[in-house]
Amino acid sequence: MPSQAQMEKMAHAVARSAPPARSLAPDGDLPPEYWQALLDDAGADGGHPPPKTSGRLQRLSQIPQHLLRLSCRRCSRTVEMQKMDAVRLYGPEAVWRDVGQRLLDDTCTNRTGRHEEDGCWPSFD
């Protein structure tokens, strides 16, 4: 175990050899070392898989199921459509949420005349 004097001597040697700490102004640029560390990070090059998108936000061309199904939380109706038919009618780049809402609205029976209450409330399960 080093003595107190030896510890102080080592601390002074380390303090003298360490580069001076740079302080950043509030509007100052970040040091290049920071940006290089971000670029060197394993996840910076796309090493992580992309976040999984919700099924309702996927385009029809991205959905793996052949049968698309959704139900209404309001009237409990269920609507099914083959993916091939949905792609033919709405195109492969159509978003499933928009297609599903349109399918329910086209056959909705809950019409009250009030905009806030009209239509079905889709549940994409």
Which pLDDT tens digit goes with each residue over 29-79?
777 888 788 777 756 556 555 555 556 788 888 888 889 888 888 778 888
* 123 neighbors 72 (Cβ within 8 angstroms): yes
pTM: 0.49
pLDDT at res. 4? 84
Angle at CA of residue 105, ends 101 and 106, nearest 5°: 120
The token duo for 49 is 């898989």
Model confidence at 93, in pLDDT bands (50, 70, 90)?
very high
CA 96 – CA 123 distance, rounded (Å): 12
Nearest Cα to Cα of residue 125 among 86, 62, 76: 76
Angle at CA of residue 12, ends 9 and 15, nearest 5°: 150
The alpha-helical segments, DSSP class H, found in 48-95 are: 83-90
CA 30 – CA 70 distance, rounded (Å): 49
Phi, psi of 118 (to 5 degrees): -70, 150
